[in-house]
Amino acid sequence: MWKEAAEITASCVLFIGMGLEAEVERALSCRFRVLSCPKCLTFWSVLAFGLLTGNGCVETVAVSFLSSYAALWLSLLCDELTLLYNKLYESITQQTQGGAEATDEARDKDEAADGTTLPKMHEQQ
């Protein structure tokens, strides 16, 4: 049961972290409070799985609580990784745009110096 509970926990956290719950709610035109909270979704999913597979009631409830607590920490980790990704993406994008602008400025200086221009390979839109 522990392996399945860990898989359900990871799935629930990623389901919410990727924004899929919002798309499900939008598609169904109604809001489910359980779908928007990683600990709630994890608790109820693990509880339902445990009871439907015939595990003991006490064990299932205990594993559900521990899984929902783990979901909080996993969600926090995923949020931190998302922030790190956004910062890295932003810095790479700015460097790429800065490099393109520097290349354009150098080309403009070269054109002005000798009075000739080279044909452009592609147009920027």
For the chain, give every domain's residue range: 2-106
Q: What is the average pLDDT across 2-18? A: 92
At 115 the three-state DSSP class reads: coil
Q: What is the pLDDT of residues 84-114, one digit of tens each?
A: 999 999 999 888 876 666 555 655 555 555 5
At 26 the three-state DSSP class reads: helix
Would you say residue 119 has pLDDT above 60? Answer: no
| Statement: the pTM of the whole predicted model exceeds 0.85 | no
Do 105 and 44 form a contact (C-beta atoms < 8 A)? no
Instruction: Give 106 or 15, the one with higher predicted confidence.
Output: 15
